Structures are given as C-alpha cells and as structure tokens.
Amino acid sequence: MNPIQLAILFCSLIFLCSCTTIGNQFTADFKNISLNSTTREEIETIYGYPLRADFLFGMKTYYYRYAKINLFLDDVKLKELRIHFNDNDTVNSYSYSSNFNKDKKMIYEKPKALTQ
C-alpha cells in the first residue's frame, strides 16, 4: 500500500470513528398517539421500550431519545419524545423536541401536529 492510500485510509477511519448514534431512530409522526386513549402497551409496540422511564409530577413518563454525534465536525443532533401516562396507563400528554433540520421544518410549519 503506497503512502497516499495509507493516508486516505487513515483519514477515512478517523472520520468514521468520530460518528456515533445513541438511542433508536424514530419518526416525528404522532398520528397514532391519542390523548386518554392510546395505552402504554401500544406506545411500546410502536416505539419499543423507552431509553429512560421515570415518574415526573406523579405520572409515569417515557423518554425516547435519538442522538447523532459527529466529533470530527463538532456537531450534535438530538431529538426527544417525552410521553406522560395517566394512572390507567393511557397517554396523558406528550412533547417533542428536535434540532434535526427536517424536524425543525415540520415543527415550524405544523405546530398543531403536536397538540390535540
């Protein structure tokens, strides 16, 4: 292997190793979530098990997060879906935040998509 090929391989490996993801990718489509109707089991079927679960303000809360980190470019993209459940395990409320460009566009254009 000549020095140029070795340098290209080395730079490629550094670039590839500097990128990572955390959590499971999920879509920002919430048509399948109905307040006081969708159950915790249905949420788990749709999104899988949450990255984190706790009790917030007395309600069971699920957190779904996805992060894409590129250390080489010093860039972090993060989105989070937070779902609060009633005592009967139906969805009480949910919130979504993201700094992914395509999600920001969706949020700015359709703010009512997240309110029911």
Give, for all 116 residues of the chain, the pLDDT tens digit: 788 877 777 666 665 556 777 788 887 778 899 999 999 999 999 999 999 999 988 999 999 999 988 776 677 889 999 999 999 999 999 999 888 887 766 655 544 444 44
Among 1.20.120, 2.40.128, 3.30.1450, 3.30.460, name the CATH number for the domain at 20-114: 3.30.1450
Enter the pTM of the model: 0.72
SS (H, E, C) the chain: CCHHHHHHHHHHHHHHHCEEEEECCCCCCCCCCCCCCCEHHHHHHHHCCCCEEEEECCEEEEEEEEEEEECCCCEEEEEEEEEEECCCCEEEEEEEEECCHHHHHHHHHCHHHHCC
